[in-house]
Chains A and B, each alone.
Chain A
Amino acid sequence: AQSVTQLGSHVSVSEGALVLLRCNYSSSVPPYLFWYVQYPNQGLQLLLKYTTGATLVKGINGFEAEFKKSETSFHLTKPSAHMSDAAEYFCAVSPRYSGYALNFGKGTSLLVTP
C-alpha cells in the first residue's frame, strides 16, 4: 500500500519569502511522486513529478522538489512566494508513472500575505 502525509494543513508566508510544503510518503515499492496545485473552483494541475533519475525535480512556476529516499520525503519549495501562488497543494504517490490511481494527501492550503 502507498500513502502520503502532508504536514500542515495551512501554511502562511509573506510575499517574497521561501515556500516550503512538506510531504512524506510510505511505499513498499519504488514510488512515483507528484505535486499538484488546485486553484479555487478548478481542477488539479501538475506542478512536477519524480519518476526515476535525478532526485531534484524542477516544475512549473518556479517550484521544485527533492526526493529523499532516506527520509521518505518529497518536500515542495519555491525560493520567493508570489501572491498568485495562493492555492491548495496536493502531494500524491503512485506505484507507476501512468495508468494507476494517485493516492493523494489531504492537501496544504498556502496563503501568501503582502
Chain B
Amino acid sequence: EAGVVQSPRYKIIEKKQPVAFWCNPISGHNTLYWYRQNLGQGPELLIRYENEEAVDDSQLPKDRFSAERLKGVDSTLKIQPAELGDSAVYLCASSPYDGEQFFGPGTRLTVL
C-alpha cells in the first residue's frame, strides 16, 4: 500500500515569494492533517480536514497561509508571501475514520 506522498521534498525560495506544497493521502483516509515542524521542535498542527471540510484551522496564519482539499482527496498548502520564519518542514498526515495517523516524508522549506 502506498504511503502519504508529498511534493516537493525540498524547496528554497526568497522571502516574499509564494510557495505551494502538495499532499496525496493514503487511499480511503478521510482525515488529512498539515503540521509544521520547526528545527528542534515537535510538529504542530496547522489545519485538519474531515473529507473536504476544514474542521480545525485555528493555528493556521490566515493572513499568509491558505489550504484546500478538493474532492476530499489531495490537498495543497500555500504560503504567500513567505517570510524568513516560515523555514520549516511541512508534514502531511492522513488517517482513516478509526485509525492511526500516517505521516508523509515532509517538505523542507528554506526561505532566504
The interface of chain A, by Cβ under 8 A from chain B, is 9, 34, 36, 41-46, 49, 90, 92, 97-102, 104-107
A102 shortest CB reach to chain B, Å: 7
> Among A45, A99, A104, which residue has its beta carbon within 8 angstroms of that of B31?
A99
Contact between chains at A98 and B42 (CB < 8 Å)? no
Contact between chains at A98 and B95 (CB < 8 Å)? yes
Contact between chains at B42 and A99 (CB < 8 Å)? no
Interface string of B53-93 (1 = CB under 8 A from A): 00010000000000000000000000000000000000101
B14 located at the interface, meaning its Cβ lies under 8 Å from any Cβ of chain A in the complex: no
On whether A43 and B91 interact (CB within 8 A), knowing A99-B31, A106-B42, the answer reads yes
Contact between chains at B40 and A44 (CB < 8 Å)? no
Which chain A positions have C-beta within 8 A of B100?
A: 34, 46, 49, 97-98
> Which size bracket describes the interface of B in this complex?
20 to 34
Contact between chains at A92 and B48 (CB < 8 Å)? no
Contact between chains at A42 and B42 (CB < 8 Å)? no
Contact between chains at A43 and B95 (CB < 8 Å)? no
Contact between chains at A43 and B4 (CB < 8 Å)? yes
A92→B35 CA distance, assembly (Å): 13
> Among A43, A92, A97, A100, which residue has its beta carbon within 8 angstroms of that of B42?
A92
Which chain A positions have C-beta within 8 A of B43?
A: 44, 90, 102, 104
Contact between chains at A106 and B4 (CB < 8 Å)? no
Q: Show 8 A/B contacts (Cβ-Cβ < 8 Å), sorted by A.
A: A42-B105, A44-B91, A44-B93, A45-B103, A98-B96, A99-B31, A101-B56, A104-B44
Which chain A positions have C-beta within 8 A of B108?
A: 41
